[in-house]
Structure 1
Amino acid sequence: MDARELALASLIHDTSGPGEPPVGPPVGRRGWRPRRTKNWSCSLIVAALVGAFGSSFLYGYNLSVVNAPTPYIKAFYNETWYRRHGQPIDPDTLTLLWSVTVSIFAIGGLVGTLMVKMIGKFLGRKYTLLVNNGFAISAALLMACSLQAGTFEMLIVGRFIMGVDGGIALSALPMYLNEISPKEIRGSLGQVTAIFICIGVFSGQLLGLPELLGKERTWPYLFGVIIVPALAQLASLPFLPESPRYLLFEKHDEAGATKAFQTFLGKADVSQELEEALAESRVQRNLRLVSVFELLRAPFVRWQVITVVITMASYQLCGLNAIWFYTNSIFGKAGVPQDKIPYITLSTGGIETLAAIFSGLVIERLGRRPLLIGGFGLMALFFGMLTVTLTLQDQAPWIPYLSIVCILAIIASFCSGPGGIPFILTGEFFQQSERPAAFIIAGTVNWLSNFVVGLLFPFIQKSLESYCFLVFATICIAGAIYFYFVLPETKNRTHAEISQAFAKRNKAHPPEVKADSAMAEEKANSQPETDPSSTLDSYGQNRIV
């Protein structure tokens, strides 16, 4: 490595604080480097929209689509059971069977998450998303044909396969978006995942209206619609490039990475971006992909891993999925007339979509930390208010509508902060070689927590009645307190800067930071007899990953 490459490597891993001048030669007045223009190229926008429509949209859609046809599906289960056994199904058995139908989506998601590293290593980010559409199409066919075949097991298996699709999508899509976006708009582009989850939820509610597909004979088509986004992604995503960082770091395809940079950044001259990526690639050139076990044992990312686990657990256990899965039941308990429930449910999807868009617009101004802490804090407040209104709902005719306001406020608080930021943080905390293992850990916690909520909430609601939401309020408060004391701001910061923010708490500096310090010292001493590349190589070879 010559002196120029050494300087580039040092520049990439600059660990100066957010308020200090960057390391390197001064550029412009007072040594400050001018900010890059936020370049939203057409290809970058299309990649985000197409990727999210065929991935996170389907996850959101499958969260809400089971709400509207619940009575018809339960009647289908009862009819099938009677035909097979000659007697109606026991109510407790029906509740358990329905809980399994809802929650097995999360078990499939866990399986999909565990498959991501293996598939992504060989296929890359883009082709993982493309192959994943096979799961969505097969699940759609199974679920759509279950009523005609008279087999409710097809619906349950289809939900499981759809969960596999969601597990792969919610790991591969954030990685893809994180790696194709400039750091200046990384948060806003990452929020596209959350926005399309909300749009998917809203679409499931809209199509579930009685005037559309929420009828006794047409409910299977609600699940058949899943095939449309999958085919749309299959038809359009092949024309977009693979992640340039994947091409450069894992495939060592510099020409392909250059072309991908040019496409996503919308300009011909990408020499600066390529040189920065090459310098980072040289620092990591002796590194292999980290296993989950190695990442869990690495001391210099201990608190990053803990923070991701707590973030994902809070994301699922905060109670929002309980509202999404059982919206109709909750509104019924709140005293809302049965014929008005589908339309009020539709308002929840609209509110969460608007809140997610708001979060995408302000995340690069306010940062991740205030949105996350504020979102969970507000959720705890409104969960407490919802408990009060549900307890007093028989005292006045207007109190049930106050419950609806509380539910809408909870949804808005979630989607304006906690709804998308966990996926962004998982990509920002870890470098290229650690990222797949980090997403496996995050996804495992995500889907296991999702499964617990989906399976246990009907029984929690039955046992605690109106006080069930105090459990979620406690979780939200605990999460907000943790983030207040532990989570650093990651807005517009490099991986090296984020690692430095955690270094004191980890009581261990990341190896690349040590390597950077060694390189800077060699450069300052200007000793010609010392080969800088040997110092860098020794750090790369000895690094624990």
Structure 2
Amino acid sequence: MSPKFFLAVFITSVGSGFQHGYHTGVVNIPAEVIREWISLLKTLHEDSTELDVIWSTTVAIFSLGGIIGSLMIGFFGDTCGRKRSLFWNNFIILAAIPVMAFSKKTESFVMFLSGRFFSGINASLNAGLCQMYLTEISPDKIRGAVGSLYHFVYVCSIVMSQIAGFLLGSDENWPYIFVIPAFPALLQLFLLPFCPESPKFLLITQGKDSEATKSLQKLRGREDITHELRLLEEEDSLVKQMRGSSLKMIFQNPAMANALLCCIVLNMAQQMCGINMIVYYSTHIFDEMKVGALESLFLIVGMSTFSVIITLGSVLTVDSLGRRTLIEISLLGLIVTTILMIFSFQFFEYGLCSMKYFYICSVYLFNGFHSVGLGTIPRFITAEMFPHTSRTIAICVTLAVSWSANFLIGEGALILRREIRSYICIIYIFLDLVFFLILRQRLPETSKLSAKEIISMYEYNREQ
């Protein structure tokens, strides 16, 4: 691998994954301060239910922007290219940052919501374009590890957002929390032009053979690229023989339709297993457990740090252990730990105060099992499982589903939890079990397979 390959992996993972993770976790720690600001603007001092609805909308509008952004991935990715689209996407977040930062000064709640909305568009474009770019520039043997780095940066940036919330989350300083993402955006704007474009985009989408060869040579350095170039040309030839460049054609191919179903289920499972309830509302949850404010802060940061460690382990093992194994371990672990959370919370409510520590341990383990596979693998597997011509549309669909699920959780989970308490976990257990059964039966193993081998799963019978 050449230095330009490592630069491309670093700057796309850091510049893109940071925006996604940071804006996901940034409203958690300073939640009460921002809620108080909203209540002053909206004069909702006595109506906590209405304030919960407005706060849920504040959290969920980030996902609504994500839904819109997911529908734009195909156009930008195939028209402007992977690298160039990532480059221009930074201007969206650089426009959103001052809108959020100055919302308090202008006393405009609408400005704050608008900034959250556009940061969601930016995060969604990053999620789709980055997984395409990283998958397409990576050698088959380390494709999973490289694709997982996006989620590793994602969880690292959640930790950073929580630390920023602790340091700057006062009544006067909380707007400055939203300025921090400008730095990785500017870094990506400066360094991304030095990275090569995806060779697969250049060859298969644009038909630029010589530029694709030069790009591959820059990524591999002094390595002999003859074999990889031949595989790239074979993939180009196979892709041109396939049907599957539209959603209708994907559904006409049973193997490809199954792949799309698996990717949709994986993205739904990633969002609807209960993890977003913890990411968005852990401050509120620990407050219910009678945990002090400072103790709660350290627990939340510690939990996210634990996720970083487990995610790093997933990055290092995803290619050796395989995608299916890690996903099954992840889902089974989530089911068990969610059951433990229900029982420990019930015992706590019955007066057994020491059970709050068991509950906290269960939350930590839940977060860890999510990071084992369900956190990382959906970030890249759609790009891995689909051939080049249908890759963008498959990513658009799966990310639209993912962000829609995220929106539902962000909008409704806090209100639903207030009504049915810990029994909301029963819903998550049922969903996790359904996800596990579907994926165990249908998810193919794609670890270390070449694009040609993956495409062979989708080829029609010649008689059709």
- Give the TM-score taking structure 2 as reference length: 0.95
Aligned to 1:181: 138
2:37 to 62, 65, 76: 76
C-alpha change, 1:270 and 1:400, in structure 2 (3 Å) is: same
Quick check: 2:329–2:372 contact (8 Å CA) kept in 1?
no
Query: Hey, what does 1:282 align to over in structure 2?
Result: 237
Unmatched 5+ stretches in structure 2: none
Aligned to 1:401: 357
Residue of structure 1 in register with 2:292 after alignment = 337
Distance 1:459 1:78 in 2: 17
Query: CA-to-partner distance for each residue in 1:196-230, whole Å, 9 max, x for gaps?
Result: 11111111111111xx1121111111111121111
Which of these residues, 396, 401, 426, is aligned with residue 445 of structure 1? Answer: 401
* Structure 2: distance between partners of 1:97 and 1:316: 21
Alpha-carbon deviation of 1:335? 2.3
1:524 match: none
Contact kept in structure 1, 2:52 and 2:415, CA below 8 Å: no
Determine the C-alpha separation between the residues in 2 that align with 1:346 and 1:192.
20
Question: Does 2:331 correspond to 1:373?
Answer: no
Separation (CA, whole Å) in 2 of partners of 1:297 and 1:319: 33
Opposite residue 237 of structure 2, the aligned amino acid is R
How many residue pairs end up in the alignment?
463
Matches within 5 A, 1:71-220: 71-82=32-43, 88=45, 90-209=47-166, 212-220=167-175
- Gap change, CA 1:483 and 1:288, over 3 Å in 2: closer
Matched, 1:461 2:424: no
Residue 287 of structure 1 and its aligned partner are, at CA, apart by 6.9
Cα shift readout 1:350-377 (whole Å, capped 9, x = no counterpart): 0111111000111111111010011010
Maintained 8 Å contact 1:292/1:440 = no
- Distance in 1, matches of 2:343 and 2:354, equals 13
8 Å CA contact retained: 2:234, 2:452: no
1:357 aligned onto 2:312: yes
Give the Å deviation of 1:246: 0.5
* Partner deviation per Cα, 1:135-161 (whole Å, 9 max, x = no partner): 111111110110011101111111100
Residue number among 162, 184, 187 corresponding to 1:232 in the alignment: 187
2:260 corresponding residue in structure 1: 305
Q: Identity rate of aligned residues, in percent?
A: 28
Considering only aligned residues, what root-mean-square deviation do their CA atoms show, in Å? Answer: 1.9
How far 1:288 moved relative to its partner? Answer: 8.9
Q: Deviations over 1:98-150 (max 9, x none)?
A: 11110011110010010011111221000111111111111111101100111
Give 2:459's match in structure 1, choosing from 494, 507, 510.
510
Pairing 1:52–2:13 present? yes
Unaligned runs of 5+ in 1: 1-39, 502-508, 516-542
SS at match of 1:160: helix
Q: 1:440 to 1:458 in 2, by over 3 A?
A: same
Q: Distance in 2 between matches of 1:391 and 1:105?
A: 32
Please list the CA deviations of residues 256-286 of structure 1 after superposition, one character each: whole Å capped at 9, or x if unmatched. 2112111211225322222221232233347
Which residue in the other structure is 1:23 paired with? Answer: none
AA matched with 1:276: L
**Contact 2:100–2:116 (Cα < 8 Å) also in 1:** yes
Q: Which amino acid aligns with 1:351?
A: F
Q: State the alpha-carbon separation in 1 of the partners of residues 254 and 456 from structure 2.
A: 13
CA deviation vs aligned residue, 1:464-500 (integer Å, no higher than 9, x gap): 1122222112211221222222212111113454455
Q: What CA distance in whole angstroms lies between the structure 2 residues aligned with 1:450 and 1:424? A: 18
Q: CA deviation at 1:58?
A: 1.2
Aligned to 1:31: none
Give the corresponding residue for 1:434. Answer: 390
Whole-Å separation in 2 of the counterparts to 1:278 and 1:119: 24
CA displacement at 1:42 relative to structure 2:
2.8
CA distance in 2, matches of 1:276, 1:491: 17
1:481 has 2:430 as partner: no
- Report the Cα distance in structure 1 between the residues aligned to 2:430 and 2:7, rounded to whole angstroms: 40
CA distance in 2, matches of 1:428, 1:119: 19
Deviation at 1:45, TM superposition (A): 2.3
Cα distance in 1 for residues equivalent to 2:240 and 2:445: 29
Q: Provide the C-alpha distance between the structure 1 equivalents of 2:439 and 2:35, rounded to a whole number of angstroms.
A: 41
SS in structure 1 of the partner of residue 303 of structure 2: helix
Q: CA deviation at 1:297?
A: 4.0
Distance 2:239 2:340 in 1: 51
Q: Per the alignment, do residues 488 and 289 of structure 1 end up closer, same or farther by CA in structure 2, a change over 3 Å counting?
A: closer
Q: Greater CA radius of gyration, 1 or 2?
A: 1
Give 1:315 shift. 1.0
SS of equivalent residue, structure 1 residue 417: helix
- Confirm whether residue 64 of structure 1 aligns to residue 21 of structure 2: no
What pairs up with 1:526-537 in 2 under 5 angstroms? none
CA distance in 2, matches of 1:359, 1:91: 41
Structure ranking higher on relative contact order (CA contacts 8 Å, 6+ apart): 2
Quote how far apart the aligned CAs of 1:431 are.
Answer: 0.3
Deviation digits for residues 303-336 of structure 1, max 9, x if unmatched? 1111111111111100101110001011111221
One-letter amino acid matched to 2:141: E
- How far apart in 2 are the matches of 1:203 and 1:514? 53
Query: What secondary structure is seen at the aligned counterpart in 2 of 1:280?
Result: helix
Aligned to 1:392, the other structure's residue is in SS state helix
The equivalences for 1:253-292 within 5 A come to 253-267=208-222, 269-285=224-240, 290-292=245-247
Contact conserved, 2:235 with 2:452, CA < 8 A, in 1? no
Query: Of 238, 241, 246, which residue of structure 1 is paired with 2:196?
Result: 241
Aligned counterpart, 1:538 = none
Amino acid paired to 1:486 = R
1:430 positional shift: 0.9
Distance 1:478 1:160 in 2: 31
Return the letter of the residue paired with 1:174: Q
Change (3 A) 1:288 1:254: farther
| Gap change, CA 1:500 and 1:252, over 3 Å in 2 | closer
CA distance in 2, matches of 1:496, 1:239: 29
Distance 1:475 1:41 in 2: 44
Aligned to 1:42: 3
- SS of 1:146's equivalent in the other structure is coil
Return the letter of the residue paired with 1:206. Answer: I
